[in-house]
Structure 1
Amino acid sequence: MRIALVEPDASQAEIILRLLIGGGHACQRFSSGTAFLEALEEDAFDLLLATWWCGDTGADDLIPLARRALPGLPAIVLMVAPHESEIVSALHGGADDCIAKPVRGPEMLARIDALLRRAGVRRPHNRARQVFGDYVFDSGRSRASFRGQTITLTPKEFRFALLLFTNASRPVSRARILETVWNLNRDVRSRTLDTHASRLRSKLQLSPEHGWRLATLYGFGYQLDRVPASTRAMSGEEYPDSVVYHVGSEEKL
């Protein structure tokens, strides 16, 4: 998962970064709340991990501001020997959990995983074979099939498709797709990402008549949804393969 760490203390940040990376997470550190908020203008994260004092603002003030850009962003506050009043203030300020510093690696990772589960954030499992309706993904062979027919996918297309199916009915940000599919290669152009999405629609037959719809979320990423059987008979004009939305809105462009 992509975690934003707001920690002014470089030595503390280094310890936490090592623990997060060792736990299988991607993490970007910010030395102040302002730097983090500026990054949200072009980037997205799955979780915010912020120290109680972020160098220029308190975590209880930072969290509401961050959620204006990323509604529902899970947040954990780190505190040194916290008093009850500080914990209460952090929770009232929007924090989902509080962790004492210095952090204990296993406990912090377990709390992060628990919070992400509650928030509905999912990462693809390491199981060799995963089934989503008529689709079967064999990670051991990087092979996909639909109704018994093998579908030829490139490694990037396979990872992209598995990420979408694992997070069906949830928006997946471009930043997270780049992390999972292109290993955080920031040089990937939007057109390249759109081309891969278009190929997946075609190769996997992601259309309402087959029970799925891959929508482009304008300015954010993509979302794969199941189409109820009762609506599959509707025309392609009413249920197009690609629907572009404003993020956080149901208005079609």
Structure 2
Amino acid sequence: MNIALLMGKSPQLQAVSELLACAGFRYNIFEAGRDLIHSVTQVPYDMLLIGDDLPDIPAIDVVRAVRGARSRDVPIMMLATDASEDRLVDALDAGADDYVCRPLSPRVLMARIAALRRRVTGERLRQGLVVRVGAYQLNGVGRFATLRDERIALTPKAFELAMLLFSNVGRVLPNSRIEQTVWRQELPPLSRALAGLISRLRKTLRLGIENGVTITVVYAHGYRLDVLDEDASPRLPAAGRKITVRRLMGR
């Protein structure tokens, strides 16, 4: 695993480089944000660790530039000193996958790195999938949906939500799991962001009885995608062949 560590002016991040070395990771250290941006266009890093005390440009701008250059290819974890909700939301909106506030114990940091690596690996495996449920189809490459061959554009968060729900037909998905998948963290208890996104997804995909697929709210638990046509089961094409997944209408 090859990691890029953008330390900037923070001497505390020197301990992170020592930790990466002890764990057996290959890594490159950068002090300036522009140097990292230039490097990611030439080196296929497996993960970026970005501090927020940089000498040249804001760390948020580094994240945006990397996402512009490499899209969703490389996972990004910010190692920040500002624990405010506004900075966290700004970082995630810019394209960061995780936001970790310092100081952080070595064990916790390594666990977060491993968790981010597992999550991104799972997303890459799903990117080539086409998930079919009833009259709907989700295209993991183009990241769009179709309803009876009508193409429907989805925002990145809406597509992540749709892919999670459509891949788990009949299963109750806890709010926490959905939030971790879509926002990379659990949202504040009073947040209406998830309910709002569910509502917009229903409207965009025209989910309802008329199209045979519904989203059910399971009070105090989460959400469940239901298929009303008993013959419609989700199918996941993989490696040139189709694998049929049985639909379990669990409650």
What's the TM-score once normalised by structure 2's chain length?
Answer: 0.46
Larger RCO (alpha carbons 8 Å, 6+ apart): 2
